[in-house]
Amino acid sequence: MAGDCIFCKIAAGDIPGDIIFEDELAVAFRDINPQAPTHVLVIPRAHVGNASTLTEADDALIAHLMRIAGQIARDEGIEGSGYRIVLNVGSHGGESVPHLHIHILGGRQLSWPPG
């Protein structure tokens, strides 16, 4: 647990989250401020910063998180229509929670380029 990291607290069960999947390495829960009909966050259970702070030691973890993201998209019924996986990094990227999280967004037509 990193300090008062809100995602560490959700993973630990210290604050509530709408958790839809968890295993020993990862937790997935619905975004509290959804930007699409399906908006799920997949996080590592252990505190990891953002995509810029990853090291070789995180390779297997990231592969695991990505596989779970695909599984959740299937389970949520958005695989056929398509969806977007997003990692926001830093200020210009729009990152607001400094604990690695994969956004899964789907259930509507998403535009490109992003705002």
- Choose, from 39, 99, 101, 103, the residue flagged as catalytic: 101
Give the one residue of 55, 96, 109, 111 binding ligand AMP; rule: CB under 6 A: 96
Interface with ligand AMP in residues 7-46 (CB under 6 A): 17, 29, 31-33, 41
Query: Residue 36: how many CB atoms within 10 A of its CB?
Result: 18
Residues 94, 88: Cα–Cα separation, whole Å: 6
103 labelled catalytic:
no
The Cα-based distances of 15 to 28, 43, 72 in angstroms read 14, 15, 22
Please tell me the distance from the alpha carbon of residue 111 to that of residue 25, in angstroms, as a whole number. Answer: 32
Tell me the closest approach of the beta carbon of residue 111 to ligand AMP, in angstroms.
17
Binding residue count for ligand AMP, defined by CB under 6 A? 13
Task: Assess 97 for contact with ligand AMP (CB under 6 A).
Answer: yes
